[in-house]
Amino acid sequence: MAGRFASQIAADQAVVRRLESAFEDVEAIELGPPTRSQLLQVGAASALPFVGFGLLDNLVMILFGDVIDMTLCTALGFSTMAAAALGNTLSDGLGVFSGGVVEDMAVRMGFSAPPLSRAQLAMAATKRWERGGQWIGITVGCILGMFPLALLNLKEHEAKKREAALERMFGSVTIAVEEMLCADIALIMTIDESSQELTARAATVGGKDFVFRASA
């Protein structure tokens, strides 16, 4: 009886030692630094969602900003910076809803973070690769999102904005001239340096305005 009891105790002690060894191995893995392969996975998994976010952010900002610049800003005389700010506001608002979609697509494409322990996720090396991946991702995405600039006719847009500014100036100046000089007709002549075009704008009291253009 005593022999069997002693052998049982010895077997139990052997099991305890094996369990302790296994726990030590797991603890060593969890507390050890991530491997280079795991860090590369962290960087890639952090970069791809930000590529999509940067692309959508610049794409939407440019497209909406162009529409706002040609409509609202031209009508009200706001600057191009105001159009860019409003476009950026809309793109950031859209980014709140599209961020989760981009992350889900990245996971479906296989760009998921490696299974790391909490201690490994909190390590400085992991944080550096995570932040570095995000920075590279959003930089690449923003550059890719600039492609609408190659499709927009910026010269035509600027010409339309100058035309609208001249119309506003013409209206205010002719009214002031008519009132100061009690004139029946006010005539303003402007020269467009880019196109070398002479434009004569005239307005009559109580009548219709008319414009005459002549190229140099």
pLDDT tens digits for range 77-108: 677 788 888 888 888 887 777 767 777 777 77
Q: Tell me: pLDDT of 202 over 70.
A: no
34-60 pLDDT tens trace: 788 888 888 888 888 888 888 888 888
Q: Are 54 and 144 in contact (CB under 8 A)?
A: yes
Q: Are 111 and 48 in contact (CB under 8 A)?
A: yes
* Banded model confidence at residue 131, pLDDT cuts 50, 70, 90: very high
Q: Which two tokens stand for residue 200?
A: 């004569």
Q: Tell me: pLDDT of 175 over 70.
A: no
> Could you give the percent of the chain with pLDDT greater than 70?
62
Distance CA 14, CA 7 (A): 11
pTM for the predicted model, two decimal places: 0.59
Q: Which two tokens stand for residue 2?
A: 């005593």
Chain-wide mean pLDDT for the chain?
73
* Banded model confidence at residue 163, pLDDT cuts 50, 70, 90: confident
pLDDT reported for residue 89: 85
* Banded model confidence at residue 114, pLDDT cuts 50, 70, 90: confident
